[in-house]
Structure 1
Amino acid sequence: MGEFWPVRDALTYLAGTWQVRRTVRDFAGDGEGRFTGTTLFGPLQDADLALSGADPSLSESGTPLPGRGLLHHEAGTFVWQGVARPAERTLRFLPGAEPGTALVRFSDGRPFHDLDLATGRYVADHPCSADLYRGEFTVRDEDHWRTVWRVRGPAKDLVLTTDYTRGRTGADGRPGIL
């Protein structure tokens, strides 16, 4: 991919509904899967902030922050080896110390990774036990972004590629796609 689309404010960019298409390739087990669904980045409420373990007005370094962050909720269907199952996950995106950045946390408040979309591209690492998750985030334009997570460890060798397309609300008020 050539050019990346710089993002001045990561949380403002991410806010809203996104259609999600993910492929999962397991090189260790020689399997493939796919997820299709929707991700909603909505405002964090006080209870969500308490679960994230963060003071809504301070960064991890104690710097005052604007905004309260976003609750990321993804839901859809995951198909693995021909078997379809419902799947969902929740993350919390908190304001980072610099414009264009965010602190990503798991639903229980544990740190996941930092995110800096100021240049339109960012690489994050997340060590998990003996495994290393390396994520590359690329912003293509105002309505499209991608993540590619490469997971390696003693028993894991995966690539998860996720494409996000901004959802739009139609005249009937229902979500749709451009």
Structure 2
Amino acid sequence: MDVRLRYWPVADALAYLAGRWRVERSVWDLASGDEGHFSGVTLFSALEGGGLLHEESGDFTWQGMTRPATRTLRFLPGARPGTADVRFADGRPFHELDLTTGRYVADHPCAADLYRGEFTVRDADHWSTVWRVGGPAKDLVLTTDYVREG
């Protein structure tokens, strides 16, 4: 059995992401050993003027407590055709995204910590991210699986 990862190239990241996705995320704090879990949905809807509004909502369980959690990002057309410029809700830059090979690694410095995300597209309806966060304030691994709904 061939266990090598296969990537699914995406010609246009924004077109691929548009729609509703089921989200399952594990969060592992490497320093404390604590583990958490997020379960919810992400909706990528059209932004006026181009791009997508990313709205994530669900429940996050951490240290035995479950709370509602949300996140909003903006996925704007990138510098090259088919790519995206990912921004926080307030417009600050987050990272670039290029899925043309089906895999992309992005870095985001946040104060003294570094977020390094690996994006992997499996097929038309499945993609994932693994964010490794390291620095003096955080030592985390966040693994997220997305499955297209509808």
The verdict on a shared fold, with TM-score over 0.5 as the criterion, is yes
CA distance in 2, matches of 1:84, 1:2: 33
CA distance in 1, matches of 2:140, 2:133: 5
Give the structure-1-normalised TM-score.
0.81
For residue 14 of structure 2, what is the amino acid of its counterpart? Answer: L
For residue 96 of structure 2, what is the amino acid of its counterpart? Answer: D
- Flag structure 1 segments of 5+ consecutive residues without an equivalent: 46-55, 57-67, 169-178
Q: How many angstroms does 1:155 deviate by?
A: 2.6
Superposition pairs of residues 16-165 of structure 1, within 5 angstroms = 16-45=19-48, 56=49, 68-165=50-147
CA distance in 2, matches of 1:160, 1:118: 23
User: C-alpha offsets along residues 45-84 of structure 1, whole Å, 9 cap, x if unaligned?
Assistant: 3xxxxxxxxxx5xxxxxxxxxxx00000000000001110
1:99 is paired with a residue whose SS is: coil
Q: How many angstroms does 1:119 deviate by?
A: 0.1
Cross-structure match for 1:48: none
Q: How many angstroms does 1:99 deviate by?
A: 2.3
For residue 15 of structure 1, what is the amino acid of its counterpart? Answer: A
Q: What percentage of residue pairs aligned between the two structures are identical?
A: 71
91-100 vs 104-113, greater mean Cα deviation: 91-100
- Flag structure 2 segments of 5+ consecutive residues without an equivalent: none
Structure having the larger proportion of residues in strand: 2
CA distance in 2, matches of 1:144, 1:98: 24
Q: Over aligned residue pairs, what C-alpha RMSD do you find?
A: 0.8
